[in-house]
Structures are given as structure tokens and as C-alpha cells.
Chains A and B, each alone.
Chain A
Amino acid sequence: DTAVSQTPKYLVTQMGNDKSIKCEQNLGHDTMYWYKQDSKKFLKIMFSYNNKELIINETVPNRFSPKSPDKAHLNLHINSLELGDSAVYFCASTGGTAYNSPLHFGNGTRLTVT
């Protein structure tokens, strides 16, 4: 009965490769996010979708492309991976756009680019 699930948990790949991370939530939430946590543990938003529509696109390289086939899924595809992409990527969802709705996070995907 996992609320927000991400796969894979670990991803090790070489520079230049293309990889995807999948995220699914079974909470019935309308809004989903991708966050990146860097080596210093700082969490920064990358993208947000509301009902399959992109609503936040922070200054993220074009190599990162989110895709939301339906409101329960938000995948992240990364092209031409670089060493600096190594980080933990978190998917999250929330039930409302009100400021009192917490985000529910997946367990994260640790991406290592060698």
C-alpha cells in the first residue's frame, strides 16, 4: 500500500547514457513533483505537474524531460547524463494546491553517473 513509489531505487550509469525514473502515486493526488537532492542534501524543485499539465519548470537543463501520462504517474527522463547529474531524485505528490497540503515523498532514486 505504498503511497508514492519510485523505481529504480538505485541507478548507476555512465556519462552520455539516457535513463528514466518512474513514479506512481496511489493517493488520488492531482499534483506531482520532481525534486533533486544534491550531495549537500539541499532539496530543490525541478518540475511540477497538476492533472498532467506542467505548471512548474525550474531552470533545469533541457536534457531533463518529465512526462505525465496520467495524474497518477510522473516519469523523469534524462538524456546524455553528466557527472553533475549524480544526486538523489525524489518524486512527491500533494492532494491540493492549498498551502496547508503537505507533500508526500517517494523513497528517492539515487543516481550515480560514472
Chain B
Amino acid sequence: AQKITQTQPGMFVQEKEAVTLDCTYDTSDQSYGLFWYKQPSSGEMIFLIYQGSYDEQNATEGRYSLNFQKARKSANLVISASQLGDSAMYFCAMRDVMEYGNKLVFGAGTILRVKS
């Protein structure tokens, strides 16, 4: 079964507007971490933000925030005040304590294009 689902293959957003990238996950574990990574066209994987399963507050890192709804098993990334440099592929990922070795499992990604 798919552990991480990103239902939006591609998204467009106008510069300076906010955008939400969706992510749902599936786990029976109580302890897990959710991560978002950015992959620009240059190819590197950039860690953006982390949310732990026990965290009561939504994580924020600058213009990035994570809308964590544990009961719905969703961890959506919100980018505020979009910039042209935000155009990239975004991956949601989960690290699950019960998984031996704590591998990071990725969703299929969402391509974000910021329009000027």
C-alpha cells in the first residue's frame, strides 16, 4: 500500500500568493516523522521542514509551514508569498520508527510552478 500520497502532480501559483501542497500518509505506528523536501531543476534535494507525530504545534520554517492534521493523516505544506525561486519539485516523506533502519519513504512529488 502506498505510504505517502501526493495527489497533485502539478500546481501553478501566482507570485506572492500562498500555495498548499497536499500530502497524506498511512501508518499504524504512533511515532513517526514527516518531512518535506524541495528538488529544484538543478537536482539537489533540499530539506525544508519537519513535523513529528507528537508535535501539537504545526511546524514553521520561514515561509514554509506544515498543516498537520493527525486524525486525517495529512501533512500539507503551505508556502506563503511564493517566489519565482520556489518553482521546483516538492516531495513529502515519512520516517517510521517501526521500519527497520528508519528509512525515509517518499511520495511521488508535486511540481510547483510560480508565475510572474
Please report A residues at the B interface, Cβ cutoff 8 Å.
31, 33, 40-45, 48, 50, 55-56, 88, 90, 92, 94, 97-105, 107-108, 110
Contact = CB atoms under 8 A, between A and B. Distances in A.
B3 to A, nearest CB: 12
Contacts of A44: 106
A71 to B, nearest CB: 15
Interface of B: 31-33, 35, 37, 39, 43-45, 47, 50, 52-53, 89, 91, 95-97, 100-106, 108-109
Given A43-B106, A100-B33, A48 B45 contact: no
Given A41-B108, A43-B91, A55-B100, A99 B44 contact: no
B101 A99 contact: no
Interface SS majority for chain A: strand
A104 B44 contact: no
A6 to B, nearest CB: 10
Contact of B47 (A40, A42, A45, A103): A103
